[in-house]
Structure 1
Amino acid sequence: MAPYTSEASAVELVSDLAHEITGKVILITGVSPGGLGAVFAETISKAQPGLLILAGRTPSKVQQTADAVTKTHPGVKTRTLHLDLGSLQGARDAAAEMNGWTDVPAIDVLVNNAGIMATDFKLTPDGVECQFATNHLAPFLFTNLIMGKVVAAKAPRVVNVSSDGHRLNHVRFDDYNFRGGETYNKWFAYGQSKTANMLFALSLAEKLGQKKGLLAFSLHPGVIRTNLSTHLDWEVDVASLRAADKMFGNAEAWREFTFRSPEQGAATHVYAAFHPELKDHNGAYLQDSHVADPWTDTVKPWGTSLVEAERLWKLSEKLVGQEFSY
């Protein structure tokens, strides 16, 4: 297979990788219609996976995506899971349900796709800034609580959907809550959470790669108009985003955005979840269906540091009140 470009679509990659998808059990979070999770689910259905487990906060929206899969590919089995990442209890409840499914002993691929972006300041019921909690902390807990099923697979993978928005902040270990809103910037908070997605994948690869054969990756899907950003006032919020980039001296502050279709955005999801060449790049951050190059792509060193990854793991264990020693 020739190297993919930024123009590649999920359909193209599924065609190339169908033999890697057929028969597999795949759990996808954040599958509301119109989002990348739904596009990913519907596209990989063409390759006849064994089971799609579709997880999300709003059962009716999850069911819409399940129905869309069934309509176009009636031979593909689907199952829905209520997963509310707005609280740690929501993550625990979903994990408990998932672990109770004795007829699903293993999960081949877990795609942590759900997330929020640039929301106003809010603390979750657990007292954690909502973007950090929803995008990282609850998925950290959910993933680790169902890890027994993941590593029971023959060649398990975990994929965290991050963003080149990680350029907007490192993990603020001493101020992850932005002093109760006093130091809050919605883009800095988003950047922190996306860096956390990268570091979490790095930690999983480091802790479970050799021991259990787990492959873990993070990715940037590109800039796509989805329901992730429907709450934003772009006339105001693009200006605040550019100001945040200028604070870091990022080139994106002076560039025009290049938007992609959802089908192009989901291409790197497919690459991360199934491409066999990634076995030699465990823990990598991906973009445009390749391993991101820090010389030519936006890859900040704080998102690829094993030291930062371990610090985040310890902080995450503290915040969820549970240790995961592998």
Structure 2
Amino acid sequence: MSIIIDQNTPVLIQGITGKEGSFWAKHAKTYGTNVVAGVTPGKEGQDVDGIPVYHTVRRAVAEHHIEASLLVVPPKAARGAILEALDSGIKTIVVTAEGIPLHEMLQLRKLALEKEAMVIGGNTTGIISTGKAMMGFFPYWLDRVYKPGRVGVMTRSGSLTNEITAEIVKAGFGPSSIVGVGGDPVPFTRFAEILPLFEKDPDTDAVVMIGEIGGTMEEDVAEAIEQGLFTKPLIGFMGGRTAPKGQKMGHAGAIITAGKGTVADKVGALTRAGALVADRPSMIGPLLKQIL
């Protein structure tokens, strides 16, 4: 099994005829993802590597059964593309755009929750169920990173994901599914909302969480563990340990505010909840051997 998507999930790609959209559509298809259609306004009748293109999402869902959509569109077009997907009844949406206005993200998160849809992102590399399907930007051909296994990964950082997942594989394990929640201040889906999916997945034995300074998502995970909502072993790693106080570091969401969001806050909360915390990526493998 896997979480969110697998090789049977029919996927739509919005923005499929753009440079990035067409590049990753071909790679997703090669990987085994069931990409059934794409959307670019004004390009209906074209195809990308045999994938038919439509003017609108509504036109695509009228012709194909679609359960998930990958948005490869610029930030200014993201709101409209998300609304179009939600209005067409699509329940899983992955948003790669970075820098969507904060008020739009808040409004869209509220709408997605009302529609019982899962929107992942923005500013995410996407999601991948290793060996089965992917929606996003994953160099799956790197066996040292994407070797299938039984360790779930949820992350705020694309670059750290490759480094830490390589450590998981180096230790003799591999990722079951990887979910990038994204690095923007208001993620559409939070870590604590991903945990129940890993909890229910019989093919995930443990979870590695790649966090950062800023926000309270990691503290939310600690609370979920304390409440018994997540019972599998969890290892956390926090990026930004040497960040100056109050300084934004790379991601828009990685800023410490109101006395919360420091590495110390996160490490303390997770440790009290019974999770393990790695001080550096090279500790991930030994910790996994310890708990598994």
Query: Considering the TM-score relative to the shorter chain, is it more than 0.5?
Result: no
Task: Please state which band the TM-score falls in when normalised by the shorter chain.
Answer: 0.3 to 0.5
Higher strand share goes to which structure?
2
Higher helix share goes to which structure?
1
Question: TM-score of the superposition, structure 1-length normalised?
Answer: 0.34
Question: TM-score of the superposition, structure 2-length normalised?
Answer: 0.37
Higher relative contact order by CA 8 Å / sep ≥ 6: 1 or 2?
1
